[in-house]
Amino acid sequence: MNFFKSFSLKTVMAATLALSSSAFAAEQAMDLDTLLKQLEQGQTAQNAQNAQREAQFKAQQSEQVRMLRELTANRDGELNRSERLETQFEENEIKLGNLSDTLSKRMGSLKELFGVLQQVAGDSSNKFRTSVVSAEIPNRSAFMDDMAQRMGSSTKLASIEDIEKVWVELQREMTEQGKVSRYTSDVIVAGGAKEQKEVLRVGAFNLIADGKYLSYNPETNTLSELTRQPTARFTQSAADLQSAQSGIVDFALDPTGGSILGLLVQAPNTKEQVEQGGAVGYVILGVGLLALLIAIERFISLMIMGAKINRQLKDSVAREDNPLGRVMKVKEQYPDVAYDTLELKLSEAILREMPKITRNLTLIKIISVVAPLLGLLGTVTGMINTFQAITLFGTGDPKLMAGGISTALVTTVLGLVVAIPTVFLYTLLNTRSRNLLLILQEQSAGIIAERSEKGA
């Protein structure tokens, strides 16, 4: 069919060319005889060309028939081969099933043993790969991986040596978990640089160097310092352990291999918790510092004043450098007045000394009351912000709610931290000032009694 299409197309093209030549010749011809002669010559050439094409088509037709016969023969051969292969495949399936049954019968209880061995090898491989022991003893999981793959195939069985080696590797892991080992290795410090350091491995729990905790990357088999270390009490125990040569040292172990340590690292320290309180937190700390400074000044002043009063109690000469001496001066200033008048003068002198003794104590009391209220204010403000965030983002993330509530409660904690010692300081200073005032009143009552006896 393709040949006929090609032949027809060529014929049409030849006729078109002949007509075009005829038209061109007609334009050039001077008479009809010349035009007729040219048409006859073109028809003769076209007939010769058509005969040549017909012969070529017949030759190609025989070639196509030959090729068709060859392809048909090849197809029949492949069909026969396919039938033979299908038959052979079915026979092999039957043989394979029989051999599998025979293998299962011969293996007996060993099949269960090899299954357990495959499971143990696979689990141990994952354990060895992530264990910090591999930081000191690398490439322990390769054998376990190969053993698990071989046990998963029914064509290869484990030898006694392989089973013993699995047991040895498990025993090594258990033994290393109870050791505190020192070795030298490259450690990636802050900034990305590598330094050769002495690494202390605490069983299969932690790695430390220079008193800092390290993290182990099983993918690259590298050690790196934690960018953020836990609180000082943990780093101090790590430094004590690394510097110790013998004996028992308190140390914080991470039995999870790093999970608990990662949570401790994320926990905010005291400075960060204070910063979470925001502006209200800083105000609370400011008033707390003010109360502390006032309390220190009052404690020192009352202590000096009390020492002078005690010295005045042992001296009969009134001195102007202490409240008791100034009260006793009233007796000398009014030697001849009646005892009731003297009583009023002494009460006036005591009232004059009272502001000096009780100065700023009221301010400390006010701060002890205001600090918890400021903390409550910060908590309410933080809760409002938390509920606004819940309104915008929903309650899908519990950490969002917990973090906001935790931040809000920081101000309450700061308020209580300031209020509790402030109340204690106020009580202590108030008691001390009252004792000094009682001494003044006691001595005043004695002076009045003495004057009353003289008047009688």
Which DSSP string corresponds to 8-68?
HHHHHHHHHHHHHHHHHHHHH-SSHHHHHHHHHHHHHHHHHHHHHHHHHHHHHHHHHHHHH
Burial 410-424 (b: 16+ CB within 10 A, else e): bbbbbbebbbebbbe
Residue 300 has pLDDT above 90, yes or no: yes
Quote the pLDDT of residue 344: 87
Q: Among 153-162, 176-185, 228-237, 431-440, which range has the highest average pLDDT?
A: 431-440
| Domain assignment present for 93 | no
- Do 341 and 248 belong together in one domain? no
Rounded CA-CA distance 452/166 in Å is 106
The answer to whether residue 150 sits within a structural domain is yes
Which residue shows structure tokens 């910090």?
A: 132
The verdict on 186 and 173 lying in the same domain is no
> Does residue 95 lie in a domain region?
no
Q: Do 312 and 448 share a domain, yes or no?
A: yes
Residue position matching structure tokens 């017909």:
54
Please indicate, yes or no, whether residues 387 and 444 belong to a single structural domain of this protein.
Answer: yes
Task: Output the average pLDDT for the chain.
Answer: 80
Check whether residue 206 and residue 294 sit in a common domain: no
**Residues 388 and 259 both lie in one domain:** no
Q: Domain span at residue 237?
A: 181-265
Count how many domains the chain has. 4
Give the three-class secondary structure for 409: helix
Domain-located, residue 92: no
Domain boundary among 177, 200, 218: 177
Residues 6+ apart with CB under 8 A from 209: 187, 197, 198, 199, 200, 223, 225, 242
Q: Are residues 372 and 434 in the same domain?
A: yes
Same domain, 440 and 351: yes
Which carries the bigger pLDDT value, residue 399 or residue 81? 81
Is residue 189 in a domain?
yes
Asked if residue 102 is part of any domain, the answer here is no
Q: Are residues 426 and 367 in the same domain?
A: yes
More confident of the two residues 296 and 31 = 296
Mean pLDDT of 171-199: 86
pLDDT tens digits, 39-94: 767 677 777 787 788 777 777 777 778 888 888 989 888 999 999 999 999 989 88
What is the structure's pLDDT at 420?
94
Together in a domain, 48 and 151: no
* Boundary-marking domain end, from 241, 265, 289: 265
Residue 136 makes CB contacts below 8 A (sequence gap 6+) with 181, 183, 185, 199, 201
Does residue 144 fall inside a structural domain? yes
Q: Which residues contact 324 (CB under 8 A, 6 or more apart)?
A: 308, 309, 312, 313, 439, 440, 443
The answer to whether the beta carbons of residues 210 and 259 sit under 8 Å apart is no
Whether residue 431 has pLDDT greater than 80? yes
Is the Cα torsion angle 313, 315, 318, 322 positive or negative in sign? Answer: negative
Say whether both 313 and 448 belong to one domain: yes
Give the model's pLDDT for residue 148.
78
Whether 354 is covered by a domain: the verdict is: yes
Indicate whether 170 and 187 sit together in one domain: no
Q: What is the CA radius of gyration of the chain?
A: 54
When pLDDT is averaged across residues 11-31 and rounded to a whole number, the result is 49
**pLDDT number for residue 410:** 87
